[in-house]
Amino acid sequence: MTTLTTDPPRNGLSPLERAYARLGVVLITPTILVFLLVIVYPLLAALYLSVFQIYTPTLQGGFVGADNYIELLTGKAFWSSLRVTIVWTVGTLTLQIVAGVGIALLLHQNIWFRSLARSLVLFPYFLSTVVAVLVWKWLFNDLYGALNQGLMQLGIIDMPLDWLGSMPNAMIGVILVGAWKYFPFVVIAVLARLQTIPENLYEAARIDGAGPIARFWDVTLPQLRSILTVIILLRAIWDFKEFDLLYLLTGGGPVTSTQTLSLLVYQEAFGLNQMGQAAAYSVGMMLVMLVFMVLYIRQTKEKA
């Protein structure tokens, strides 16, 4: 009597499973290639350029080793721009969170024209940055700007202010514009979370005698804590690397008072034609942003 024996599948996989595995490799290959081209290659190129003194127009230069990084650590430009970047990020992020949460709470109520208001609040976020900057530069104009005219009519100021040409007005101006442009993102995320909070939590708080303020601190805010943490980390990363809005508004001026790290890299690479030093600054900027990225990854893993 003969018995039929079947060999176990190689590597513990059946032929069908191996076929699916090969198909998976084929499907993910384009994504890996794009990742290598748009992320890995630029990163390696920046690290390579950062140890050379490169003249931007010709991309010619010599090896200087760690000199660019020594200049980064010992010079004032990087640390001054880092300080400006932190002030800009903290300022605009704080206003985004305060305004975003406040408007989200308002739009969560049963008010007239709520659907229209929810649509209109997204307008700044979807508006082109170039168009938004043109409008705000007109509002900030020290000769005919509507902002100065309105403040003088109210008696708050006696003469027009140079909003974008002097400090601290320039920093206040860019922070206000940045907060106005990006607070709708906070509104969208917070409003979505508000709609998932169980109503019985508010009913229990009302039974216990909690007023609107107490219900916000004891019920709403704890429920929003997780989403606010993710919002703050995401917006901090995006605001930290903001370039176009700041470049179009002030170009880093007056002098370097609003020059963030992104503007410093641009100025070094295309203003001073020092591509190697700009690459070193960009690597330093990447290391700072790495802290935010690690915090974001840890936070998302904890919530998973």
> 10-residue block means of pLDDT along the chain (304 residues)?
49 78 89 91 92 90 92 94 96 96 91 85 90 93 87 87 89 95 94 92 88 90 91 92 94 92 94 94 92 81 65
Phi, psi angles (nearest 5°) of residue 54 = -105, 130
CB neighbour list of residue 206: distance below 8 Å, 6 or more residues apart: 215
3-state SS, residue 60: strand
CB proximity list for 249: less than 8 A, separation 6 or greater: 133, 136, 137, 164, 173, 174, 177, 258
Cβ neighbors of 10 (< 8 A, separation 6 or more) are 18
Q: Encoding tokens for residue 56?
A: 């931007």
- Predicted local distance difference test score (pLDDT) of residue 227: 92
Query: What tokens were used for 103?
Result: 């408007």
Predicted local distance difference test score (pLDDT) of residue 15: 82
Element (H, E) at 52: strand 52-55
Phi, psi of 62 (to 5 degrees): -120, 165
pLDDT confidence of residue 48: 93
Distances (CA, A) of 189 to 182, 184, 194, 242, 243: 12, 9, 9, 20, 24
- 52-55 and 60-63 beta bridge pairing: antiparallel
- Between CA 304 and CA 272 the distance in angstroms is 46
pLDDT at position 252: 92
Global pTM reads 0.86
| 8 A C-beta contact, residue 246 and residue 266 | no
Domains of the chain from N-terminus onward: 15-49 (no CATH), 67-303 (1.10.3720.10)
| Residue showing tokens 């024209």 | 113
Q: Which long-range contacts (CB under 8 A, 24 or more apart) does 221-224 make?
A: 223/193, 223/197, 224/101, 224/190, 224/193, 224/194
The Cβ of residue 240 has, within 10 Å, a number of other Cβ atoms equal to: 21
pLDDT at residue 157 in the model: 86
Task: Supply angle C-alpha 273, 250, 180, rounded to 5.
Answer: 130
Residue 178 CA to residue 239 CA, distance in Å, equals 8
Q: Dig out the tokens for 1 from the structure.
A: 């009597």
